[in-house]
Structures are given as C-alpha cells and as structure tokens.
A and B are shown apart, each in its own frame.
Chain A
C-alpha cells in the first residue's frame, strides 16, 4: 500500500529528527552482512546519502518509490546497486543494505508501543520494502548488462583463427554460432587469409552442438566470401549425428570439401599441395 500524505510526512520527520543516530545504526546493520568488504566510513557515507534521499522523497510527498517525488531516491538506489554489482556483492547483500533501514527505524522509535506508532511502522516498512525491491531489480539489470559485456568480450576470445600449417589456416567453431558470432568468425577468417596469404582455410565444427539452417547459411556465406578472395575452404569435424541431421534437413554443401576430422582435412589439403606432413 502506498503511504498516505500524513504517513509520508511523519516518516520524513522521523528521518530528519534522528538523522545521525539513524544513519549510524543503519550503516552498522548494513555492514554486518558485508563482513568488512566495504570500509565503515564508506558505508556510513552511503547510508547518510540514502537517508537524505529517503527524507527528501518523503518530505516531497512520495507515497511510493515509483513516484515522481522519489526520482532522486531511485537514482541513489540505482547507483548503489550499480556500485555493489561491480564490486561483486550479491543481489541479496545489496537489498539487505536497504532493508536494514527498517530495523534502524524501529530502534529510533524506541519503546513507543501504541497502536498509531505501530501502524506507522508497518506503513514505513512497506515503503522501505519497495525501495529494497527496486534496488534488487536494478542490481539484476546491472548484472545482466555486465554479463552481456563480458559475453561480447568472450565472443572475441572464443573465435581464434590459427595458422595450422604453411598456407593453411583453421577456425575451430565452439558452441552456438549465432549471427553475431558468425559475423565475427567470418571477418576474422577473411582477415587472416589476407594477412597470411593462405590459399586454404579449414572450418572445424566439432564443437558445434547442432547445425541448423542458420548455422549452415553462415558457413556457406563464409566459404563463398573466402572463395572470392581466392581461398578454398574445407569443413571438418562433421560428426555422424550432425551428418544425418544435415541430410534430413536437406542442406547441401555442394562442391565444398567436407571431412570427418581436422586431421583428415589437413591431410587432404597437404595432399593437394603436394606437401607431406612431417612425422
């Protein structure tokens, strides 16, 4: 339930009149769960800022964290989530930092045990709960963004194009070949062909769990592009279950040479160039 205007203003007054003791107690409670991974001074600074943001939002009549009046509070909570996510704290630890305000509030309410105070406390708690959930959500969003950034970096790393032999480059594909990755693979391969002047490229799909029409189309396009640059492609690592699936699907690799293993592919290329592998 949103706070009534009276409840909001009483909460604001409570936060203001007990500013220092509240922030101190709050940061103490929040710190307990973080076990010294954040300095006490840093934590106190954060809770002071948050306390101010809570107070200002409530004084401006915020009935809920999602209100216009709570915009600055949301910005602070988002920043908290973002910092904690980057520092490696968990979503729960981050949300608990906000939840701790409830217990701190309870302590400044002291021994008052009348029904009115109790009702207020319940209303304040609900407000804090929503603020903590907001923090939790924004933490998750930040994490997802971090993870997708890392996935992008991994993408770069996970598509190595190696020079296998004089005149032969190979690209071992591992995992899901989505469009983004296929693009990276193709560019890398073509660039390596230019850099090394290799007439042969082996695309090894041993690590690809399923070859569907999209994967096949990416491979076919790469082969055509390599041909335009004067290089011949061989597809290797076609396992039996993949071969049967490709046939049932109706994909044709045309005159592209295909081999069961990378070793077979290399042997095939060396046979064509008249070089023999040194044993």
Chain B
C-alpha cells in the first residue's frame, strides 16, 4: 500500500538537487532518524546523478510506503539509457566508466534497506530503493 507518489524529472543538474530536496522533505515527514535521512538523501543523490549522467536522463518517483509494522520511503529511478551490461562489475567498489570514484551504485546499495536493479542493454535501467523507519 502506498500514497503520496511524487514524480520529478531528472534531466539537469538542478533536477538532481530537487530530487535530493524532495527526498529530504519526505524523509523528515516519515520521521526517519537524522542519520537515515542523510543516508537516504545521499543514496538518492548518487542514483539520480547516475540516471542523469549514464542513463541520459530519466525520472525519479518518491513515495511513502507502509507495511504492517513500519513506514518508509521508496524511490524509483528510471531511465531509457544504454542499460548496464555487467551488473556485478558496475556494483564493484571503484568501478567507473565516467572518471568518478565508482562508489555511487555500490555505496547507495549499502545506504538503503532494499535495493533492486532491473536493467537491459539498450532498453534502460530502473533502480528501486526502500528505506524503513527503525
């Protein structure tokens, strides 16, 4: 079950900032701890920038989610870019094709509670993350 779905385009650097701000706002609203807010915002920043830089732009969808015990936030990043051919490699710390630190994807996975990637070469990439309140 979920409510309050908010969608943002991820097409410019400014959009990455907007995604971060929206995630921060929602994280505060669901009462994530300060540490978890910061972790989620940082993960969102990484994934949004990957969507922009490697995915050629796309969309972020932020929603509040609940299960029977807890509230949380789910963020879905979707692009129609080149996809990720070798997922294990892309998830290796330090692997980068863009002169970065190569920690965005693997680091984001460590910063959230649930992390799921759907990707297909030539079709695009969709990454879903969830962070639950403790």
Binding site for B on A (CB under 8 A): 176, 178-179, 209-214, 216-217, 240-242, 244-245, 248-251
Contacts and interface: CB of A to CB of B under 8 A. Distances in A.
Q: Per DSSP, are chain A's interface residues mostly helix, strand or loop, or mixed?
A: helix
A244 B39 contact: yes
Given A213-B100, A213-B103, A214-B49, A249 B35 contact: no
A211 B49 CA distance: 13
Interface centre among A176, A214, A244, A249 (most CB of B within 10 A): A249
Interface residues of B, number: 24
Interface in B82-118: 93, 100-101, 103-104, 106-108, 110-111
B9 to A, nearest CB: 16
Nearest to A215: B45
B106 A212 contact: no
A31 B84 CA distance: 59
B20 interface: yes
Interface string B31-42: 000110111011
A210 B101 CA distance: 16
Given A213-B104, A248-B39, A248-B111, 19 more contacts: A176-B17, A176-B20, A178-B17, A210-B45, A212-B49, A212-B104, A213-B46, A213-B101, A213-B103, A216-B101, A217-B101, A244-B39, A245-B35, A248-B107, A249-B46, A249-B107, A249-B108, A250-B107, A251-B107
B34 to A, nearest CB: 5
Contacts of B35: 240-241, 244-245
Contacts of A245: 35, 38-39, 42, 111
